[in-house]
Structures are given as structure tokens and as C-alpha cells.
A and B are shown apart, each in its own frame.
Chain A
Amino acid sequence: MTSVANPAIAPGATEADLDQTTPAGSFSLARGLVAWREEMDAAVAAFFSSCVHCGLCASACPFYVETGDPQYTPIHKLEPLRLLWEQEYTLWGRLKVKAGLDQRRVTDAMLAQWEPLLYDSCSMCGRCSLVCPVGNDIQYMIRKAREGMVASGHAPEGLVAASVRAVTTGSPMGLQWKTLEVQIKHVETATGLTVPIDQPAADYLVLLSSMEIINFPEYLEAITKIFDHAGVSWTLSTQCFEATNAGIQIGSKDIAAQLVQRVVDAAEALAVKNVISPECGHAYTAIRWEGPNVIQRAYPFKVWHIIEVLDQLRAQGRLQTEGKEDDRLSLHDPCNLARKSGVIQQQRRLMDLIAGNFVDLKEHGEFQWCCGAGGGVSSNERAEPLKLAAFKRKKAQIEEVEPERMVTMCATCRTQLEEGLEEFNMDIPVVGLTELIADHLVEKG
């Protein structure tokens, strides 16, 4: 680690010096820079060199729009990574450093300054990537920048703690199987159905998020009812029930790989054909998109979000519903699901089944606005004021169409919507789409 010539350290400082001034543990600036160099791929180089500094990403970011603070311009959040790229990966940058014309350096102080920008003011919602006129995937680079922040010891405490709990206990909230077992008993009593556990060769392995188990136990009850209704072969796994991935949020592919591997091991142990991500946005992108990359192999099973599965059942005629909600309902698309994964029409077709008075938010689908809590922001207590500030955009969107209830399909979004609406004294309940579907199933005759 210390053998490599490093032009990006402070002038006059050796890397050993830096090691002593860096935060506790084995993390260091030098280690963070090594992590960044590994992340510096052709896409990053192309993105940085094609940025035209137009600032359109700012107007796409809820954190900038609601605070008006220019430091929250998305591309600015990447300045330390960009500086490293310029000074080590571009000809002019290298010449300027060699000739002593460029005295700027990526330092621990700089990373400490950028930590709130990379974590507190970014939910990795990807709206900036969508509007960038030259096609720079800014969100992709934020994800990469976080790798170096973790390795240099500049990750927020809340996310570090969640990551440690996720690895050591199997849940970012420290939840054990026995807690889930209590919920399963409740569900079985309430429905009179059996929740299948560790069923080999089931069609679907159902994963959950700790947030759902604690805050929204009705989700498990809903899928138990729906799958019974539709005759779906499914199972939970005692080996792994947690779908969320704190490693993705903190930005450590090592931690992420460990957590994804647990899901893969559980799915392979039971030889299931499909794995269902729960009503959680980042869990879905973690397993579906990042997973095979971080464990560096393809899965022998398919991954679906619960909403995709429900829509497939609907298309196959296996979802028989009756009656419609008659109050005015609107939909919040989770960023990870809609913008980052293209699941947009599925939830609307499902809404058609059960909503008699549905109104879409003006900007929805791929251009929806983030609730403000994703990407690890909700696990980071320091980000609380910013999280609420960013929510104001969602609030404004909701006020535009004045629904009586909001529907969504991500536990983090749902919690944020509930807390935010309460903060602004708006009496608009938030429900999960899966539960709404379960409420309207035709009773078996």
C-alpha cells in the first residue's frame, strides 16, 4: 500500500505520516486513493472528460433544488475523485503536477469536507444521470466514490454501524430469525395459512427487509395471502431472509459481495428458480444489478421485485380481485425501481385493478423525484435535516395533485413519506401496493 508513488498526497508528507493522521483503524487516505484508482474505469474517464459544466444536474437534484446551495450540485460532489482523475489520468494534469503548477491535492481534510456531500446529500436516485446532456452517469460515479470514502475512513457512522450489523447479525437492524418467527406465527394465526419455510425446489424464494419485518408486518401477511390465492410455490429461508444490502449503500463492494453471497447461497441451497426482492428499492438493484458484478459470476436463478411478480400473475389471470378503492390514490415510484430498473408500467397496471380514482404525480416514472431517504441517507442520522429538506420536493409534487392516500412499493420511501407528511401536518396515509392488492383478492369459494 505504501510502495506506490502517490502524487496525490500533500506536498512534503509521506504516506506513513498520513497513516498516523487518518481516522482510527486500518483505514487511511492512501488506502482510499488506491480504492479510487481501482474504480477509475473507462466510463469514469469518459464522463469526467466530457462534462461541459452546464449545471443541469443541479436542477435535477432534490437536495440542490430544495436548499439552493450550490455545493449540492451533483457533479461537484465528485470533485475529489475528479481531481485524482485529472492529476493522475490525464496528460495535462500529470504535466501540471510534475511542473509544480498544480498545488491542489486530495487530502484527508478534503475528504472530510466531502463526506457529507457524498453521503448526506445524495440518495443515489440517478435523476442527475438522466438529465445530463452528455450522458454522464453521475450516480454511478457517486457509488464508486463511496468505495474510496469507506477505505479512507470517511463513511458516516450510521452506515458503518448498519454494515457491521448486516455482516455480523444478518440484518442491518440487528434483527434475528426468532423475531421473524414471531411475525410468521402472527401471520399464520391471522390468515389460517402456512408460511412455507426452507421448502426445497420452490419456484420463488421470498426475501424481506428488516424495516418491513419491524414496521410493516402486513407485507408478509399480504404475500402469504396472494401466493396462496394464485397457487404460487414459494418459501422463506432460515439461512437468509434479509434482502437489503448495507454494503451497496455505504459503498463497499467487499461488504456488498458478502451480503449478496448469502442470498445466492440460500437460493442455491434450496435450488429455487426465482428470488423475490421485497418492497425495497435498493435491495432490488443490489441483488438484481450489482449482485452478479460484486460476486463476479452469474446466478442460476432469476431475480424479481415483488411488483414484477404480481404483474406477471395478473397477466396470467392468476390474480382475481374484486372492488376498488374509491378514495383518490396517487403513486410514488421508488427511484431504484422506476428510474434505475425500468419497472414503471407494472405498478400502474396493478393500480388499475384496485384503484377507482387514481391520479399520477405530474413527474413520475423515470422522471419521478426521490423521496430523499434512499442511498443510505435514512441510515445516517447526521443527514436528518437534509433528508427532510429534500422531501419538500416530493411534498410539492403531492400537493399538486392532492391525493387522499399515497401508494408506494419501498419500505424506505414509505417510512420517509409517512414521516415527512407528518412533519408538515399533511393527513395523507401511505400504503404498500402489495397490501392493497391482498385486500382486494376474491375470497376462495
Chain B
Amino acid sequence: MAAYPHPGRPHPLPTTAATLGEALREQGVSRRGFLKFCAATASLMALPPTLAPAIASALEQARRPSVIWLSFQECTGCTEALTRSFSPTVESLILDLISLDYHHTLQAAAGTAAELAREQAMHANAGEYLVVVDGSLPGPRANPGYSTIAGISNLQMLRETIDGAAAVVAVGTCAAFGGLPQARPNPTGAVAVSDVVRDRPVINVSGCPPLPMVITGVLAQFLTFGNLPELDEYGRPRAFFGQSIHDRCYRRPFYDKGLFAETFDDEGARKGWCLYRLGCKGPMAYNACATMKWNGGTSWPVEAGHPCLGCSEPNFWDAGGFYRALSVPAGDTRGTLFAAGAIGATVGAGAAVLARQRSAAAKAERTPVTAAELEQTL
């Protein structure tokens, strides 16, 4: 790895250190700073704080794991997000200090040499390496020509690469759920990694882009405990995707009080009221932005005054307008609603006619009550 696209980082990080601990120390990361990171990681993974030293010790001892990074139908936004921290952070150092053996955006090698590096890494670390995928890929029934690398289709490359992988991490919403390439009308027949990988654990780190801390958190857990985090129903690490943006949003008290910004330049917007009516998807978006924020904890979309797009959720591109409030149904539902209404009205009218007939029959059949009859019962 010779190319380092970090504007704030003066020097590349050539390292010969065998373990993460040594490498970090070599880079001038203090023990204190490192432990802070471990404590934060422990809390993010919902582990008790007493485990922070265990994480530290495991990370310090960990051999640099081999990671093969495959980029398919993607925009490089995920890589950018993960690598462009403002200043070197422990997360970015860890990312640097994994043995990133193949990443065609970052690596210097190109063409045959690059593919050779991938094959070498696969053979040298068979059964142990992690595969990180960003971007979706044309599915088995699509024309493979839509996306190829060195003449190899994405699908074929993925299948070859995961053969000896311990696990697959699908980074970004495209890899996790299909994302933008899969959005209607999905011209390339794009599918998510989990749609084609059935025989290896797939961890979905969704988001467009995902939070850098989430990927390092997953890596840290893998390195510390040798296992993979607990996943939610969408295959996402529960520790990071367990709570909705809405539930942890600092603007939530305004929602609870019914104070909403109605436009982007009204009084409510200036006062920082809830963005729900401007289309915020916070209530249905599960991610850690509200607690971890972006750019080293500087800010995040809602804090910057923009509603959450729900980018960590499946099909967020097709879930209606970004600026339509959630209570407005996503997409064009007029046809469906009309059909459902028509069917409902027909069934209802039919049932009403039957019920009326029953009541009318009873009316014709009923014998009026007379006082004489009542008297007989006394």
C-alpha cells in the first residue's frame, strides 16, 4: 500500500510491525489513547466496560489480519468515508494496519499485478482472511458484462474470493441491500452480496456511506473474540443498528412536543425543531449516526439541519421522496388504494345487503308483542 489519500496525514505508514499493538505504538498512539478506543468499542458493542482491557490486549496481540477489499458497482463513497477522517484516528490506523492486501482504489499495483496480489493473499491466508465488499453486483441472471474487473465478472470474482474467507463484510448499502444500482428500474440486474453468498457469514454494514466506526468495530470484535457480532434481521450488527435514529435523536423532544420545522427556512428550522414533516426517515432508520456522529464526532445530517434519508435501510432510494413526510405513503399508491377501496366497498356493500335482507326478513316475520300476551305470563 503506497497510496494514502489522506489530506491530513503527512506520511505514509510503512510498517514492519507484526502485531497491531506494536504498529500503533510505532505510529505514536499512546497507550491511553488506545485504551480509550477500546473502551468506546466495548460500549458500542454493548459489552461491559470491564472487557475493555481484554479488547486492548487482544488487539495488541492480534496478528495483522489479511483483508481483501472488493469494489463492484459502487461510487467509492464508502472507501472515502472510511479513509477520510480529518486527522489520523485510532480507527483509521487500525484500518491501515490491517493487511489490506487488495483494494483497487488504494493499491498501487494495477492490472495483472493487482490480481496476482489478490490471489496470493487468498492462498497465504486461506480460511482466515476477511472479504470486504463495497458495491452491488450484477446478479446470476443479469448480463455479467455490466461490471467486470480484469475481464472477470463481479459474481465470479466474489465466488472465487469468498471460497477461503472466514467471513464477508458487505460495506455500504449497495453491497448490503443493492442500494442505488438496484433502485428501479435496476438496469444491471444488481443484487446484494447476501443475495448470492449463502455459505459464508455475511455482515451487512449498511449506510450510504456507513459510519467508519462501525466497520472498525466489527473488525475489532473479529480480532478480539474471533467471532462475529450479533446481527439483526437485516444481517447488521445489532450493537450499531439496534436503535432508530429517531429514538436517539437530540431533536426528539421537539417531536414529542409537536414542534416541527415546516420549511427549511422557517422559524422552526432556525430553532432546530424536529424535521419529521420535512421528510425525516429517522423513525424507520436504524443506525448509530445520532450517537456517534460523523467526521470525528463533529456533526451529522440532522444536526446540520437536513432530515435523515434512512440510507441504512433496504430500498431507501425507492421509498418515496426524500422530503415527503413518513406518514405519506412511499411511492405511487393511488392504483393500489383505489383497487383496495373498490374491493372493500363491493364486499362491504354485499355484506350490508345480506344483513339488511336478514333484518328485513325478520321484520316481515316478527309477531308484534301485545299486552294480552304479556298478561298471560304473569
Give the residues from 319 to 358 in chain B that come closer than 8 angstroms, CB to CB, to chain A: 351-352, 355, 358
Q: Does A309 contact B (CB under 8 A)?
A: no
Q: Is the CB of B374 within 8 A of A164?
A: yes
Tell me which of B355, B363, B365, B373 contacts A26 (CB under 8 A).
Answer: B373
Given the interface pairs A40-B358, A45-B355, the reply to whether A24 lies near B374 with Cβ below 8 Å is no
Interface residue B2 (Cβ < 8 Å from any Cβ of A): no
Which of A3, A4, A31, A37 has the largest count of B CB atoms less than 10 A from its CB?
A: A37
A23 at the interface (CB under 8 A from B): yes
Tell whether A99 is near chain B: CB-to-CB under 8 Å.
Answer: no
A15 and B60 CA atoms in complex are apart in Å by 87
| CB closest chain-A residue, reference B352 | A42
Asked if A27 and B373 sit within 8 Å, CB to CB, the answer is yes
Given known A163-B371, A254-B370, A255-B371, contact A153–B377 (CB-CB < 8 A): yes
B residues in contact with A31, CB < 8 Å = 366-367
Q: Does A160 contact B (CB under 8 A)?
A: yes
B362 near A160: Cβ-Cβ < 8 Å: no
Interface check B368, CB cutoff 8 A: yes
Cβ-closest chain A residue relative to B371: A167
A60 contacts chain B at the CB level, 8 A cutoff = no
Q: Shortest Cβ distance from A119 into chain B, in angstroms?
A: 14
| A36 and B78 alpha carbons, distance in the complex (Å) | 69
What 8 pairs between A and B have smallest CB-CB spacing? A37-B362, A167-B371, A25-B376, A254-B368, A38-B362, A25-B377, A254-B369, A38-B363
Interface membership of chain A positions 333-366, coded 1 if the CB is closer than 8 angstroms to chain B and 0 otherwise: 0000000000000000000000000000000000
Q: List 21 A-B contacts (CB under 8 A).
A: A23-B377, A24-B376, A24-B377, A26-B373, A27-B373, A27-B377, A31-B367, A34-B365, A35-B366, A36-B362, A38-B359, A88-B358, A150-B369, A150-B374, A157-B378, A160-B374, A164-B378, A168-B371, A168-B375, A254-B370, A255-B370
Counting contact residues on chain A (CB < 8 A from B), the size range is 35 or more
By a CB distance below 8 angstroms, the chain B residues around A164 are 371, 374-375, 378
A140 in the interface, Cβ–Cβ < 8 Å? no
- Do most interface residues of chain A lie in helix, strand or loop, or is the interface mixed? helix
Q: How far is the CA of A151 from the CA of B359 in the complex (A)?
A: 16
A171 adjacent to chain B (CB < 8 Å): no
Q: Is A25 in contact with B373, judged by CB distance below 8 angstroms?
A: yes
| B377 proximity list for chain A (CB < 8 A) | 23-25, 27, 153, 160
Interface size of B by CB at 8 A reads 21
Instruction: Please give the distance in Å from A371's CB to the nearest CB on chain B.
Output: 27
Task: Tell me if A252 and B369 are in contact (CB < 8 A).
Answer: yes
- B366 x A38 contact (CB < 8 A): yes
Distance, CA A31 to CA B233, complexed state (A): 57
Nearest chain B residue, comparing its CB with the CB of A165 = B371
In whole Å, how far is B343's beta carbon from the nearest beta carbon of chain A?
14
A interface residues (Cβ-Cβ under 8 A, vs B): 1, 3-4, 23-27, 31, 34-42, 45, 88-89, 91, 150-151, 153, 155, 157, 160-161, 163-164, 166-168, 252, 254-255, 258
B304 at the interface (CB under 8 A from A): no
User: With an 8 A cutoff between CB atoms, is B361 at the interface?
Assistant: yes
Against A, the Cβ 8 Å flags (1 = close, 0 = not) of B14-33 are 00000000000000000000
Evaluate contact between A151 and B365: CB separation under 8 angstroms: no
Q: In the complex, are the beta carbons of A1 and B359 less than 8 A apart? A: no
**Complexed CA–CA distance, A36 and B355 (Å):** 12
Query: Contacts A38-B363, A164-B375, A255-B371 given; 4 further ones with Cβ under 8 A?
Result: A26-B373, A89-B355, A168-B371, A254-B370
- The listed residue with most B CB atoms (<10 A of its CB), out of A24, A25, A91, is A25
Whether A4 lies near B368 (C-beta < 8 A) is: no
CB distance from B346 to the nearest CB of A (A): 14
Chain A neighbourhood of B358, CB < 8 A: 37, 40, 88-89
CB-CB under 8 A from B376, the residues of chain A are 24-26
Chain B residues contacting A167 (CB-CB under 8 Å) are 371
CA A167 – CA B361 in complex, angstroms?
Answer: 28
- CB contact between A160 and one of B366, B367, B370, B378 (< 8 Å): that residue: B378
Q: Which residues of chain B have C-beta atoms less than 8 A from A42's C-beta?
A: 352
Question: Do B367 and A1 have beta carbons less than 8 Å apart?
Answer: yes
Closest A residue by C-beta to B375: A164
A252 to B358, CA, bound (A): 20
Cα distance, A39 to B207, chains bound together (Å): 59
Q: How far is the CA of A26 from the CA of B358 in the complex (A)?
A: 23
B184 → A minimal CB distance (Å): 37
Shortest Cβ distance from residue B359 to the other chain A in the assembled complex, whole angstroms: 5
Q: Which residue of A lies closest to B364 (CB)?
A: A38
Residues of chain A contacted by B359 (CB below 8 angstroms): 37-41
Closest chain A residue to B360 by CB distance?
A38
Residue of B nearest to A250 (CB): B374
Residues of A within 8 A of B366 (CB): 31, 34-35, 38, 151
A254 surroundings in chain B (CB, below 8 A): 368-370
Give the distance in Å from the alpha carbon of A160 to the alpha carbon of B375 in the complex. Answer: 7
Rounded to whole angstroms, the CA-CA distance of A402 and B249 in the bound complex is 53
State the CA gap A91–B344 with chains docked (Å). 14
- Which of B361, B363, B375 has the most chain A CB atoms inside 10 A of its CB? B375
Query: Are A4 and B365 touching (Cβ within 8 A)?
Result: yes
Specify which chain A residues have a CB less than 8 angstroms from the CB of B375 in the assembled complex. 164, 168
Which residues of A are found within 8 Å of B363, using beta-carbon distances?
Answer: 38
How distant is the Cα of A436 from the Cα of B358 in the complex, in angstroms? 53
Q: How far is the CB of B310 from chain A (nearest CB, A)?
A: 32
Q: Which residues of chain A are near B371, meaning CB under 8 Å?
A: 163-164, 166-168, 255, 258
Question: Which residues of A sit under 8 angstroms from B370, Cβ to Cβ?
Answer: 254-255
- List B contacts of A168 (CB < 8 A): 371, 375
- Across the interface, which residues of B come within 8 angstroms of A155, CB to CB? 374
- Write out the residue numbers on chain A whose beta carbons fall within 8 Å of the beta carbon of B368: 254
By beta carbon, the residue of chain A nearest B351 is: A91
Q: Would you call B355 and A161 a contact (CB within 8 A)? A: no
Closest chain B residue, CB of each to CB of A36: B362
* Residue of chain B at shortest CB distance from A256: B369
A3 and B364 CA atoms in complex are apart in Å by 12
Give chain A nearest CB distance to B353 CB in angstroms: 12
CB-based contact A151/B369 at 8 Å: yes
Residues of A within 8 A of B369 (CB): 150-151, 252, 254-255
**What is the bound-complex CA distance between A223 and B335, given in angstroms?**
67
Report the Cα distance A294→B224, complex, angstroms.
83
Q: How far is the CA of A327 from the CA of B363 in the complex (A)?
A: 55
- Tell me the bound Cα distance from A412 to B355 in angstroms: 39
Report Cα–Cα, A1/B368, bound state, in Å: 12
A151 to B368 alpha-carbon distance, docked (Å): 8
CB contacts (< 8 Å) of A35 on chain B: these are 362, 366
A231 to chain B minimum Cβ distance, whole angstroms, is 41
Indicate with 1 or 0, residue by residue over B311-323, a CB within 8 angstroms of chain A CB atoms.
Answer: 0000000000000
Expressed in whole angstroms, the minimum distance between the Cβ of A148 and any Cβ of chain B is: 10
Least CB distance, A417 to chain B, in whole angstroms:
30
Question: Shortest distance in angstroms between A52's beta carbon and chain B's nearest beta carbon?
Answer: 20
The complex places the Cα of A252 from the Cα of B361 at a distance, in Å, of: 19
Residue of B nearest to A40 (CB): B359
Q: Across the interface, which residues of B come within 8 angstroms of A255, CB to CB?
A: 369-371, 374
Contact of A163 with B374 in the complex, beta carbons under 8 Å: yes
B378 touching A37 by the CB < 8 A rule?
no
Shortest beta-carbon distance from B62 to chain A in Å: 57
